[in-house]
Structure 1
Amino acid sequence: ILVDGKGQNAGPLRAAAPLPESDYANTPEFDFARGAFTGGYEGVEGRAEHTRSVLYIRGKYWIVIDRIETDRPRELSVLWHFEPNCTVAAEKGGRLVARNGDANLQFIPLGPTLPQPEIIAGQEKPVIQGWYSAEYGIKVPNPTAVYTLKNAGSLTLVWLLVPSSGQMPDVKGWYSLSDDGAMNFKIRQGKADPVTAKVYMTGIPQVEGVSSR
């Protein structure tokens, strides 16, 4: 995520301590990780911090939660980068569908309402964007989806990423907020019973409706 068109400052080169156990989990049903960058953005004044939480419901999909904390209105650019052989299409409601042969990946925004993304590949100006380099000195265009939010304050962006092979499944997701700030998710795939997840501001999520077999 770019803030006012700028990327993050250089972060620490070496961790001073292990991650707290409240920020990650590996279970038979799900994997979870949370990380925050508080080191600021290149040449950007004021406070701008990004926290990302990723919940992988094993064998099904990912829930990605991006929290931006800022002390003033910003222009935020949310970037999703794809492998050069992918074709990427923007659909109604800000959805993205990436395809590579029989492999598909749906990006479903769960909130808030987003503008339609721009798909960029091989751009040189006004900024370099949409390039992939597998080795030094060689680059090829790759599709990059860019969601631009203007005059944005602190906000939370939520994404559902659904992989599939062949026909894409019908997946719907919702969430609500608890009084304690936790996010309560309900994800339904086809006619199957929904998976529910409660993701906290701190600590490990609670997930129900997933078989570990």
Structure 2
Amino acid sequence: MRFVLASASPARLAVLRAAGIEPEVVVSGVDEDAIAASLSDPTPAELVTALAAAKADEVASRLDGAEDTVVVGCDSMLSIGGRVVGKPGTVEVARTRWKDMAGGTGELLTGHAVVRSGDGAVVARAEGTRVTTVRFSTPSDTELDAYLATGEPLAVAGAFTLDGLGGWFVEGVDGDPSSVIGISLPLTRQLLAEVGVGVVTFWGERARS
């Protein structure tokens, strides 16, 4: 059975590898802005789940359909004061995000979608969202300037990481830390079970030894 990660995120890949899975990586080509625009007043959870599902579906449609395969798609966003934000893209936007987040909390939402296919057709699918509260510290101006200069916060949801340089400025999380990094191990295990697959199926020899 194949396990395909429909994401270019090195953080998601690292989480899976550390948990005993060596997935194939196939990056989706979906237009996230177009998908978001097509939804009618979605909740934050509905938005990230719809984006995750679109990624998984798009990748599944491009794979050789003969082999039993699961495709996992994810999408993360941060909710601050009821406003949902994704990747900042620029230093100016990231700086503004950090001014809003510093000393406060935000909810990191990660949508997940698992699509199982075989013999040229989708045979099962499952979706879900994990919400985790993140408690931020207040970086000094010097620290924030240095962090923004690394470029790391520009390409990640909410302009921070838990497993990288941004971890210096996170006081703690209330909930699932793997979901904050990008893919919830407990939720992914649950969704795999819903499509009839046990997570241990994908554990490599290192995990079994």
TM-score normalised by length of structure 1: 0.30
Higher strand content, 1 or 2: 1
- Structure having greater relative contact order (Cα 8 Å, sep ≥ 6): 2
